[in-house]
């Protein structure tokens, strides 16, 4: 059974963990995280706040190496069963509208948000096609599957290009922006499929429910009914997996377009490679050009300026 263990560690312990898991690091960007690693079937996400989340069958064992039982009070079999119990019985077989987003943690490229509706009659077909967690699929598989899914089910995809993102960002923090986009994608899709109504709406959770509902209050077209929030939503319903694949494919296609326009390979994520490419873009056309392709409020912008100035 999958478990989740959460511990809080000191800066010193975090440094040791980073070294210890160096070989197991994943090339995955999670907002506000220091690193993500995978050992066997257990995923370790270390946040800059000092919080470390272990998820998987060996979570308890993995966490025990670094934190005391007192530190990891959220025994996760309990927390995991609590998360699942908020969903209606037989949830995976219901007609569900799911939403997910991609690109929020990547310096280059857009933020893409997709809402997808999967009627219960389509659940088995999508699973048979291989629709599952996009992290288990290669990029070419994602792009190919996305075009198949889009022919089979109703969906609504929103793409916020970096230029638009940079205009919105001073007013909306990253979480508020995602809430606004998820809400709008869901609202537009509900209108499109009307009078059909989903039995539930599942949002791949990126912020506590109370926080989501706080931000959504400032939106014009609020969707508040039948909402469920759970992390790793694609494991609970194929609708979230479908939304995740469509979002990811759109993000990859936009990155590819950016690469062609700039004449250089634009990377995903926010690592050192992004700094170097950003420095090359600055040398080519200054901050005006970079603002069309990157999210300027990331720390990468200042790092790129220093590289470009050398």
Instruction: Please identify, among 45, 77, 109, the residue that sits at the C-terminal boundary of a domain.
Output: 77
Distance CA(195)–CA(147), nearest Å, equals 26
Backbone angles phi, psi at 144, to 5 degrees: -65, -50
The reply to whether 251 and 292 lie within a common domain is no
Tell me whether the omega of the peptide bond preceding residue 195 falls within 30 degrees of 0, making it cis: yes
Give the distance, in angstroms, between the CA of residue 181 and the centroid of all CA atoms in the same chain: 13
The reply to whether 251 and 155 lie within a common domain is yes
Assess if residue 82 is contained within a domain: no
Of 37, 33, 43, nearest in space to 24 by CA: 37
The reply to whether 208 and 100 lie within a common domain is yes
Assess if residue 25 is contained within a domain: yes
pLDDT at 1: 56
The reply to whether 271 and 223 lie within a common domain is no
pTM given for the model: 0.73
Assess if residue 84 is contained within a domain: no
The reply to whether 21 and 53 lie within a common domain is yes
pLDDT at 141: 93
The reply to whether 113 and 242 lie within a common domain is yes
pLDDT at 11: 87
Instruction: Please identify, among 77, 108, 135, the residue that sits at the C-terminal boundary of a domain.
Output: 77
pLDDT, tens digit (0-9, with 9 covering 90-100), for 290-299? 999 999 999 9
The reply to whether 294 and 195 lie within a common domain is no
The reply to whether 112 and 66 lie within a common domain is no
CATH number of the domain bearing residue 33: 3.30.310.10
Distance of CA 225 to CAs 25, 63, 89, 236, 249, Å?
39, 37, 18, 19, 29
The reply to whether 235 and 111 lie within a common domain is yes
Instruction: Please identify, among 15, 47, 77, the residue that sits at the C-terminal boundary of a domain.
Output: 77
* Per-residue buried b or exposed e for 167-181, using 16+ beta carbons within 10 Å of the residue's own CB: eebeebebbbbbbbb
pLDDT, tens digit (0-9, with 9 covering 90-100), for 212-239? 999 999 999 999 999 999 988 999 999 9
Angle between the 139-152 and 238-262 helix axes, to the nearest 10 degrees? 120
* Parent domain of 36: 3-77
Assess if residue 86 is contained within a domain: no
Name residues of the chain where pLDDT drops below 70.
Answer: 1-2, 68-85
Assess if residue 9 is contained within a domain: yes
The reply to whether 119 and 200 lie within a common domain is yes
Distance CA(50)–CA(29), nearest Å, equals 17
The reply to whether 109 and 248 lie within a common domain is yes
Question: Based on the structure, what is the number of domains in the chain?
Answer: 3
Assess if residue 197 is contained within a domain: yes
Assess if residue 154 is contained within a domain: yes
The reply to whether 70 and 112 lie within a common domain is no
């Amino acid at each position: 059974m999958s478990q989740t263990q959460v511990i809080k560690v000191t800066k010193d312990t975090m440094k040791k963990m980073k070294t210890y898991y160096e070989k197991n690091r994943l090339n995955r960007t999670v907002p506000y995280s220091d690193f993500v690693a995978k050992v066997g079937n257990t995923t370790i996400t270390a946040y800059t706040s000092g919080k470390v989340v272990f998820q998987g069958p060996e979570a308890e064992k993995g966490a025990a190496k670094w934190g005391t039982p007192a530190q990891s009070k959220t025994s996760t079999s309990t927390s995991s069963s609590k998360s699942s119990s908020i969903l209606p019985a037989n949830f995976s077989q219901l007609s569900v509208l799911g939403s997910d987003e991609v690109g929020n943690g990547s310096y280059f490229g857009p933020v893409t948000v997709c809402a997808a509706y999967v009627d219960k009659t389509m659940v088995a077909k999508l699973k048979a096609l291989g629709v599952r967690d996009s992290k288990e699929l290669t990029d070419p598989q994602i792009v190919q599957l996305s075009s198949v899914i889009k022919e089979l089910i109703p969906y609504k995809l929103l793409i916020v290009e970096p230029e638009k993102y940079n205009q919105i960002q001073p007013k909306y923090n990253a979480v508020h922006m995602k809430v606004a986009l998820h809400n709008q994608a869901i609202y537009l899709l509900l209108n499109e499929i009307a009078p059909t109504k989903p039995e539930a709406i599942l949002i791949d959770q990126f912020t506590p429910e109370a926080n989501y509902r706080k931000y959504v209050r400032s939106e014009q077209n609020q969707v508040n009914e039948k909402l469920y929030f759970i992390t790793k939503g694609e494991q609970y319903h194929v609708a979230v997996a479908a939304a995740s694949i469509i979002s990811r494919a759109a993000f990859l296609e936009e990155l590819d377009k950016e690469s062609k326009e700039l004449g250089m390979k634009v990377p995903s994520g926010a690592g050192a490679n992004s700094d170097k490419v950003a420095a090359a873009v600055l040398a080519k056309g200054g901050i005006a050009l970079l603002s069309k392709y990157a999210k300027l409020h990331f720390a990468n912008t200042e790092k790129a300026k220093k590289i470009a100035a050398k």
